[in-house]
A = this chain, B = another copy of it.
Amino acid sequence: MTAAEKDYQKILKHSHHARVLIGISHLLDWDQETYMPSSGAAIRAIQLETLAGLIHDQKTGKKFKSLLEKLIDIPTGKIIAEGLPSAKEAALREWRRDYLQEIALPKKFVKEFAKLSSQAVLAWREAKKENSFTKFSPFLEKIIAMSKKKADYIGYKDHPYDALLDHYEPNTTTKEVTAIFSDLKKPIVKLLQNISNAKQVDDHFLHGNFSHDKQLEIAHVILKDMGYSPERGRLDISAHPFSSASHPSDSRITTRFHKTSIISCISVILHEAGHALYEMGLPAEHYGSPLGDAISLGMHESQSRWWETRIGQSKAFWKHYLPLLKEKFKGVFDKIELGAFYKAVNKVEPSYIRVDADEVTYPLHVILRFEIEKALIEGSLKVRDLPDAWNAKMQSLLGITPRNNAEGCLQDIHWAMGGFGYFPTYTLGNIYASQLFEPFAKKHPEWEKRVSEGDLGFINDWLGKTVHQYGKQFTSHEILKLATGKDFSINPYVSYLEEKYKEIYELN
């Protein structure tokens, strides 16, 4: 073993310790949302805070720094270690990046921000329930002020929003996202207008009173077909669905039941299992190093949206699973043919709530939020003007105006949590997924046939080989380049939407 390799192993051991603690935190979060008795909330907050402190200390301590700076020059990022394979050099760069982010924020500031955002979340819940923006706005003002301060601590070249965005989607700038979303907006708004002028599809049969047990039975069939191993995961119920992994060998998901929709739970399962399969596919032998972690929120979302929309909203998928629905809910879908069912599942209709949005309007919800949060951070939009700005943008992008702030600018938890910079990753994920789909379909030209036979495992195998196995060895754009031979582009995403909905809505 070379000296550099030995030093690398030392960093890995140190970093592994922090990663184990992060995994424990994830389990505590999972328990909080699934099984924790209500009175356990106060001690749970203390448990999570304690772990967060230990993780921060581990990641910023002198020992870690002295190990790291033997192999990489921390101020410049120049690799000092000689003879390490390129994957390990990439790991060093990621460790340095993480270290600089961790030390940028004073501990006191981190604690204050955590306290403020926990208060803001409580205020937001009340404000949303009572449909009162003024109950939330003072907190939002403070959150924005602290987010700007956070950006200053972290540092940025062009725009304070860069520093916030980079936390969720590394190596992506405000300028880039502005351009991407600007390019995306035009064709999607146009597509939506064409759809609005076309004959609406009928989806009334997707709504009814569907047994929760039977929905779960279907969910387990789909999970098994996807290759989601019950030995390495589990499915539970929670108010807000999520996926949570503490290790590739323990990657769990939750779902919920919609009051009337039969599709909601299936979409959620596909989405969350997409996230969970990414975590299961990360190389366990690199656990604790950046080579064992997912690339970014955007790449994570590419996996979940891939399964939810590209597979779960395809005709091939329903060719196989509509018969299962017919079998489970005897009599209910007897008269429904595949073509009509497929159209119903893909019904497009502007609506107020992002999480209920269809595939075409979803990116418009995200673009709206990005434009607003960018303006809030740069100061060109004042908090008091947020509801009006929101409603005006809803009208211009989606052609509808929320009846109140609860279904408008108060609907999401993200800003209350201090998560400025998070929203763009949702749509970047869709774009990544579409770009990745091209080499996938090339490699597997028979994919629709296989999916229509309930064969889904090969899809996960392909994603594993193309994305999961690398951890953070490559950036999002590098992964796209490796898989497609091309640079990042929105074209596959736009073409996919245009072609798919042209057929469904019989557009010219």
Complex Cα gap A236–B46 (Å)? 24
Are A42 and B234 neighbours in the complex by a CB distance under 8 Å?
Answer: no
Are A247 and B37 neighbours in the complex by a CB distance under 8 Å?
Answer: no
CB distance from A107 to the nearest CB of B (A): 16
- Across the interface, which residues of B come within 8 angstroms of A232, CB to CB? 37, 39-40
CB distance from A172 to the nearest CB of B (A): 31
Interface centre among A28, A36, A249 (most CB of B within 10 A): A249
Are B37 and A28 neighbours in the complex by a CB distance under 8 Å?
Answer: no
Could you say which of B23, B31, B229 contacts A47, with CB atoms under 8 Å apart?
Answer: B23
In A223-268, the 8 Å CB interface with B consists of 229-234, 236, 246-247, 249-250, 252
Complex Cα gap A24–B38 (Å)? 17
Place the interface of chain A in its size category: 35 or more
Are B42 and A249 neighbours in the complex by a CB distance under 8 Å?
Answer: yes
Q: Which B residue sits closest to A21, measured CB to CB?
A: B50
CB distance from A248 to the nearest CB of B (A): 9
Could you say which of B40, B249, B287 contacts A249, with CB atoms under 8 Å apart?
Answer: B40
Complex Cα gap A31–B234 (Å)? 12
A43 at interface by CB-CB < 8 Å: yes
Q: Which B residue sits closest to A252, measured CB to CB?
A: B37
Complex Cα gap A24–B46 (Å)? 10
In A1-41, the 8 Å CB interface with B consists of 17, 20-21, 23-24, 27-28, 31, 35-40
Are A23 and B43 neighbours in the complex by a CB distance under 8 Å?
Answer: yes
Are B24 and A51 neighbours in the complex by a CB distance under 8 Å?
Answer: yes
- Across the interface, which residues of B come within 8 angstroms of A44, CB to CB? 250
CB distance from A29 to the nearest CB of B (A): 12
- Across the interface, which residues of B come within 8 angstroms of A332, CB to CB? none
- Across the interface, which residues of B come within 8 angstroms of A51, CB to CB? 24
Are A229 and B27 neighbours in the complex by a CB distance under 8 Å?
Answer: no
Complex Cα gap A46–B35 (Å)? 23
Are B246 and A47 neighbours in the complex by a CB distance under 8 Å?
Answer: yes
- Across the interface, which residues of B come within 8 angstroms of A17, CB to CB? 50
Copies of this chain: 2
CB distance from A77 to the nearest CB of B (A): 30
Complex Cα gap A44–B234 (Å)? 15
Are B234 and A39 neighbours in the complex by a CB distance under 8 Å?
Answer: no
- Across the interface, which residues of B come within 8 angstroms of A46, CB to CB? 20
A441 at interface by CB-CB < 8 Å: no
CB distance from A212 to the nearest CB of B (A): 15
Are B230 and A50 neighbours in the complex by a CB distance under 8 Å?
Answer: no
Could you say which of B37, B230, B236, B252 contacts A231, with CB atoms under 8 Å apart?
Answer: B37
Are A43 and B246 neighbours in the complex by a CB distance under 8 Å?
Answer: yes
A80 at interface by CB-CB < 8 Å: no
Are A233 and B50 neighbours in the complex by a CB distance under 8 Å?
Answer: no
Complex Cα gap A468–B44 (Å)? 23
Complex Cα gap A264–B354 (Å)? 50
Complex Cα gap A289–B309 (Å)? 53
A114 at interface by CB-CB < 8 Å: no
- Across the interface, which residues of B come within 8 angstroms of A35, CB to CB? 35, 234, 236
CB distance from A65 to the nearest CB of B (A): 21
A54 at interface by CB-CB < 8 Å: yes
CB distance from A127 to the nearest CB of B (A): 26
Q: A17-B50, A47-B246, A50-B17 are in contact. Are A28 and B24 (CB under 8 A)?
A: yes
Complex Cα gap A28–B47 (Å)? 12
Complex Cα gap A292–B42 (Å)? 17
Are B246 and A39 neighbours in the complex by a CB distance under 8 Å?
Answer: no
- Across the interface, which residues of B come within 8 angstroms of A233, CB to CB? 37
CB distance from A250 to the nearest CB of B (A): 3
CB distance from A20 to the nearest CB of B (A): 5
Q: Which B residue sits closest to A247, measured CB to CB?
A: B43
Interface centre among A17, A36, A39 (most CB of B within 10 A): A39
Complex Cα gap A43–B47 (Å)? 20
- Across the interface, which residues of B come within 8 angstroms of A230, CB to CB? 37
Complex Cα gap A230–B287 (Å)? 37
- Across the interface, which residues of B come within 8 angstroms of A236, CB to CB? 35
Q: Which B residue sits closest to A40, measured CB to CB?
A: B250
Q: A37-B232, A229-B39, A247-B43 are in contact. Are A27 and B31 (CB under 8 A)?
A: yes
In A197-235, the 8 Å CB interface with B consists of 229-234
For the A-B complex with A20-B50, A23-B43 known, give 13 more contacts whose Cβ atoms are closer than 8 Å: A24-B28, A27-B28, A27-B47, A31-B31, A35-B35, A37-B229, A37-B230, A37-B233, A38-B231, A39-B232, A40-B249, A40-B250, A44-B250
* Complex A-B, nearest 10 residue pairs according to Cβ-Cβ distance, in ascending order: A40-B250, A43-B247, A39-B249, A39-B231, A39-B232, A20-B50, A38-B231, A24-B47, A40-B249, A37-B234
